[in-house]
Chains A and B, each alone.
Chain A
Amino acid sequence: MTTPSSTTPETARPAGPPAGLTTAEDCAIEVGEIFARVFRTLDDWRERIAAAVPDRADLDILVESLVVPALLASAGSPAADGPPATESLLIGAGFIAAPQYVNGRDAHFAWWLGPLASNPLLGNTSGASRLDLATRVHTEYLRDFRELEWYAVPEATNQTHVTGPYVDQLCTCDYIITLTMPVRLGERMIGVVGADVYVKRLEQVLLPHFLALPGPVVLVNQSGRVVISTEPTLPAGDILPNRRHPADGFDLLPCPGTPFLLATRVAIATPAF
C-alpha cells in the first residue's frame, strides 16, 4: 500500500465538523487521511510487537497495553468538540500470531474488543473484552482462519490489506472494515497486526462532509461495495454498479492510499420510477 499524499494547504479545513469539505476531491483526500492515521498506529504496534520476545504471556500483556487504550478512547468521544480522534473509529484491535510463533503452539489470538452494545455473544460490555475463540462455537465451520482474507492477503502479498466492509461474524457481529498489516522477522511473517473500523463511526465522521457536497456521493471499495452513501438508492452493503445504477453513471475518484473510491454522479439522474 502506498503512503497517502501529504496534506496540501487547500485541504486544510476549518475546525469543527459541520463546516464540511467543499469538493469531492477534498472528501477523497480526507478518507485517505483517516485511513493513513490508522495505518500509522498499526505500523507503530507492528514495530513494538516484532521487537518483543515471543512468549505468550509477555506478548499478550504488550498487545493489551497497546490496543486497549485505543479501544477505550473510541468509546468516550463520539461527538463533542472538534473532529473525532482516529482511535474513536476502532471497535477491535490486536495481533494474531502465525502458527508456531508463540511458544510453539497453534495460531494465537491477542485480540481485544471495545465496549459493545447488545452483542449476541457478549451482551453489553462497558470495558474492553478479549476475544475468546473457544466461545465461538458457531464459527467452527471456518476450518482455518489463515484462509480468511484479512490474514491470507497480507501473508501472500506482504502488504497492508483492507478487508470489507463486511459483517464480522467472529467478534463484533457488526458492519466493519478490517485493516491488517504483516509483522515480519527477517523473511518470516510472524503474524498480522490489525484494527477493525466501525462503519457506523466512520459514517459519523464523513457524513457531514458528504452532505455538504452539491450532489450525492457514494464511498465504495474495489468491488464496488457501498460503505457510506448520500444516494438513497445505494445504501451501505449494495454493489455499484447494479441493475438500477449502471457503471457509466458515476465518476470514480480514488481515495489516496486506500482501496476506496468516491463515486459521484456523471449526469443528472433520471427518476427511477
Chain B
Amino acid sequence: MAKIGLFLARRLVKAAIILFFIVLINFALIRAAPGDPASVMAGEAGASDERYVELLRQRFGLDEPLHTQMFIYVTSVFQGDLGYSYRQGRNVSALILERLPATLLLTVTAFVFALAMGVLLGTLAAMKVGRWADTAITTLALISYATPLFWLGLMLILLFSVQLGWLPSFGFESVGAGFTGIDRMLDVAAHMVLPVLTLGLFYMAVYTRLTRSSILEIHDMDFVKTARSKGVTEGKVMVFHVLRNAILPVITFAGFQAGHLIGGSILVETVFAWPGIGRLAFNALLQRDYQVLLGVFVVTSILVLLFNIITDLLYTIVDPRIEVE
C-alpha cells in the first residue's frame, strides 16, 4: 500500500507540472491571438463594452510586463479562477462545473462500453483467427475506425429516432416529463444510448484491433506453451494466461486515448444537444467567447491527467512488475 501511495504522490506531482505547462500554453494562446488580448478575451459581444474590456485589462495586468502577466494568469488559474463570461454573465469555472457531470457520465460510459466490447470482440476475433467471425469483426472495426463521429451520430438519429422512433434524439432527459426515481434514470439512460454508441464505436474499433493483435502475439509465447504442457484447457489458457497478458497494452493505449475521447465529446454533445462542457465549448465557439473555450481547454486537460493516473494505477495493480521500475 505504501508503494501505491508513493506512486500516486509521484504521479500527482508530475500531473501538476504538466498542468502548469498546459496553463502556460493557454496563456500563450491568448497572447498569440491576433489583436489586442483584452478585446480578444472579451469576445465579440464583450468587445463593445469599454468597461468590461478595461476590467479584463486590469485583471490580466495587461499593462504590466509579460512575465508579470504570466504570473498573474497562472496563479489565478491555479486558484480555480478561469475568468468571466460576458455572454453568460457568469464565472467560467461555475459554468464548467455545472456541466461537468453530464460530460463525465457520457465519456465514462462510452469508455467502459468501448473497452468491454473492444476486448470481447478482439478476443473473439483472435480465437477464430482467419475464420468468418474474425473477418466480420475485423471489417466492422475497420469501418467503425473510418467513420466520422459526428456523421455517425446524425445517421443513428436518422435511423433510431426519425425512422424507427425508438430512442430520443437529443437532450439529457425528457424536458417537462417530470420523471423521478427509476423512471428518470431510465429516461436518462434512453437519452444516453445514441450518444454513447456514437462516441464509443470508434474507440471500440481501436480496442478491438489492439486486443486482437495483442492476443495473437501473446499466443505464440513460451509461457502459453508451458500452460498447455501442463494440460490446461484451451479456455483457461485463453483467460488466465493469454488474455491477462494481452490486456496490458490495451490499458496503456486506453490511457493515451483519454484525451481523444474527451475531445470527441465536443462533437457528440453538439450533435445530440447533450448539456455537457462539449456543448458549452461549441456555443462558446459560435459566440467567440474565448474565456469559456480556454476554460474548457484547461478543464479537459485536467480530466485527461486524472484519467491517466487512474489507468496507471490500474496498470500497477494488474502488472506486478511495475513497482520495481
Do the two chains belong together in a single complex? no
Residues of B with Cβ closer than 8 Å to A?
Answer: none
